[in-house]
Structure 1
Amino acid sequence: METKLVVFQSKEIRRLLVDNVWFFAVVDVIAALTDSDKPRDYWYRMKKRELDASGIELSTFCRQLKLESSDGKKYLTEMASTEGLFRIIQSIPSPKAEPFKRWLAKVGYERVQEIEDPELATKRIRELYKAKGYSEAWVEKRMRGIAIRAELTEEWKNRGVKGEPEYAILTAEISKAAFGMTPGEYKQFKGLGRENLRDHMTDLELIFSMLGEAATTEIARKQDAQGFPENKVAAHKGGRIAGEAREKLEVETGERVVTSENFLVEPESRKRLKGKKP
């Protein structure tokens, strides 16, 4: 399963890819369409109102899936596919409903295109980062990091690591060894909520993240690590390679690589994250 954020009229909506089908967090959709500051309460009342009026239980259009919340933890969340959302939003009296339907249809169609031509997904990711103001140099590093991460998770899969939560534990092992913090601690240090940590890393932070994961992949292959325990050892070793390189650079420059800066803060953090023009 793959989690991503999409944006509708400046409102972030969490979605989860399950068997090539996008499922969207219903409470996020309600927040986007109603501007309610309590979308969960709105959703509860809406379900009750619809049940009383038509006898239809809107939850039947949903699946309970684990999704990361603003505190960094994962909770079971009611999520709906594109088809399910089309029915749910019929019960939302909002002038945004029609443009949302068009947006939703476009998002679903883009996924079909990406399945047929994976290069389109890469192109869209690049365009999204550039639209947010990231530099070409930063985007290149971010895209390379995504490829290295995908290679690592594929290696774990082939070596008997059983998906989540084992991937998360191994990732935390690499991060702790490379930066002295787990991803959750790192996000807290940067003042992030449910934002993607790597979207708020500087060039150097991205480079050492890549080094830790690339080293872990290579060690797992060379040592033929099998199962979770052996891959956890490989993850620690790979993370330490990045950690030792980071520490040596910090000694030479007199500056810490790990920074609390993020892309949410203007202007200095953005300047640093954007890096130099290639």
Structure 2
Amino acid sequence: MKKNTAIKLFESSRVRVHWDNDLEKWYFSVIDIIGILTGSSNPRRYWSDLKIKLNAEGSQLYEKIVQLKMKAFDGKLRETDAADTEQIFRLIQSIPSPKAEPFKIWLAKVGYERLQENEDPEITFDRAMETYLKMGYSSNWFNQRLKSIEVRKELTDEWEKRGVKKGQEFAFLTDEITQAWAGLTTKQYKNLKDLKKENLRDNMTNLELVLNMLAETSTTELSKKAKPKTLNENKIT
């Protein structure tokens, strides 16, 4: 089942979403939506209590909730309760909120925009840029960030070819690269910027993005030439 992960903005709040190419439908993070509708500081607890209430009422809503890997705010993929548009509409009916109607309109708009994007992929790029601009980033920074994503993908593809495993091994080698150009591990770098769950690269300056891209591009090219076979050989590369 092919899925595309993204972040949509409702007003100024982020909503993690998945587009399922096979089923041709959106899936939305339940926790993100509950946080928006309730304003709760602990939407997970609210969702836990709501599930108990729904089960007691005989609702089948929770049975149709699926677990999808979505990127958390620390950049890591984690299993997250998600629901399609139909189930989200039902969920909204279970939550008293002044934002219920505006959110329903937003859901319909997201569905319509997907149809437009299928007809014209350039719209996808424009909307991604619009999202980042609303978050306070410059267009120049956005272009650098897009390029950094491309560079990172080339590097991780190369690592996979060399037998490097996703997760801890990717993180280990990423730390090596970050230390090489910044003198800090990824964790130390996030601490320096006072980041908690936020994505480090989304909080880099233009110069930092460029330096990181140079380091990752160099690593990719060296790996292609050296063809390392072990994690340690990848580290040396």
Normalised by the size of structure 1, how large is the TM-score? 0.69
8 Å Cα contact 1:176/1:182 also seen in 2: yes
- Specify whether residues 175 and 120 from structure 1 end up closer, same or farther in structure 2 by C-alpha distance, changes over 3 A only: farther
**Structure 1 equivalent of residue 11 of structure 2:** 9
8 Å Cα contact 1:72/1:184 also seen in 2: no
**Match 1:225 to one of 221, 225, 228:** 228
Counting matched residue pairs gives 233
Q: Report whether the alignment pairs 1:79 with 2:82.
A: yes
Instruction: Report the 3-state secondary structure (helix = DSSP H, G, I; strand = E; otherwise coil) of the residue aligned with 2:7.
Output: strand
> Tell me, which stretches of 5 or more residues in structure 2 are unaligned?
none
Give the C-alpha shift of residue 215 in structure 1: 0.9
- Specify whether residues 8 and 127 from structure 1 end up closer, same or farther in structure 2 by C-alpha distance, changes over 3 A only: closer
Give the C-alpha shift of residue 157 in structure 1: 3.7
**Structure 1 equivalent of residue 54 of structure 2:** 50
- Specify whether residues 189 and 148 from structure 1 end up closer, same or farther in structure 2 by C-alpha distance, changes over 3 A only: same
Distance of 2:80 and 2:225 partners within structure 1: 40
Give the C-alpha shift of residue 148 in structure 1: 1.4
Matched-pair identity in %:
48
Distance of 2:139 and 2:171 partners within structure 1: 29
Instruction: Report the 3-state secondary structure (helix = DSSP H, G, I; strand = E; otherwise coil) of the residue aligned with 1:168.
Output: helix
> Tell me, which stretches of 5 or more residues in structure 1 are unaligned?
235-278
Instruction: Report the 3-state secondary structure (helix = DSSP H, G, I; strand = E; otherwise coil) of the residue aligned with 2:228.
Output: coil
Amino acid across the alignment from 1:41: R
Instruction: Report the 3-state secondary structure (helix = DSSP H, G, I; strand = E; otherwise coil) of the residue aligned with 2:15.
Output: strand
Give the C-alpha shift of residue 36 in structure 1: 1.9
**Structure 1 equivalent of residue 30 of structure 2:** 26
- Specify whether residues 170 and 83 from structure 1 end up closer, same or farther in structure 2 by C-alpha distance, changes over 3 A only: farther
Instruction: Report the 3-state secondary structure (helix = DSSP H, G, I; strand = E; otherwise coil) of the residue aligned with 1:219.
Output: helix
Question: What does 1:192-207 align with in structure 2 at a 5 Å threshold?
Answer: 192-207=195-210
Higher alpha-carbon deviation: 39-48 or 68-77: 68-77
Question: What does 1:259-270 align with in structure 2 at a 5 Å threshold?
Answer: none
8 Å Cα contact 2:73/2:199 also seen in 1: no
**Structure 1 equivalent of residue 177 of structure 2:** 174
Normalised by the size of structure 2, how large is the TM-score? 0.79
Give the C-alpha shift of residue 206 in structure 1: 1.0
8 Å Cα contact 1:7/1:13 also seen in 2: yes
Higher alpha-carbon deviation: 190-199 or 113-122: 113-122
Give the C-alpha shift of residue 60 in structure 1: 2.0
8 Å Cα contact 1:68/1:194 also seen in 2: no
CA RMSD of aligned residues (A): 3.1
Give the C-alpha shift of residue 161 in structure 1: 3.7
Distance of 1:117 and 1:229 partners within structure 2: 44
Instruction: Report the 3-state secondary structure (helix = DSSP H, G, I; strand = E; otherwise coil) of the residue aligned with 1:92.
Output: coil
Question: What does 1:112-191 align with in structure 2 at a 5 Å threshold?
Answer: 113-114=116-117, 117-191=120-194
Deviation string, structure 1 residues 123-144 (Cα, Å, up to 9, x no partner): 3222333333433432332222
Instruction: Report the 3-state secondary structure (helix = DSSP H, G, I; strand = E; otherwise coil) of the residue aligned with 1:7.
Output: strand
Instruction: Report the 3-state secondary structure (helix = DSSP H, G, I; strand = E; otherwise coil) of the residue aligned with 1:36.
Output: coil
Instruction: Report the 3-state secondary structure (helix = DSSP H, G, I; strand = E; otherwise coil) of the residue aligned with 2:98.
Output: coil
Distance of 2:224 and 2:80 partners within structure 1: 37
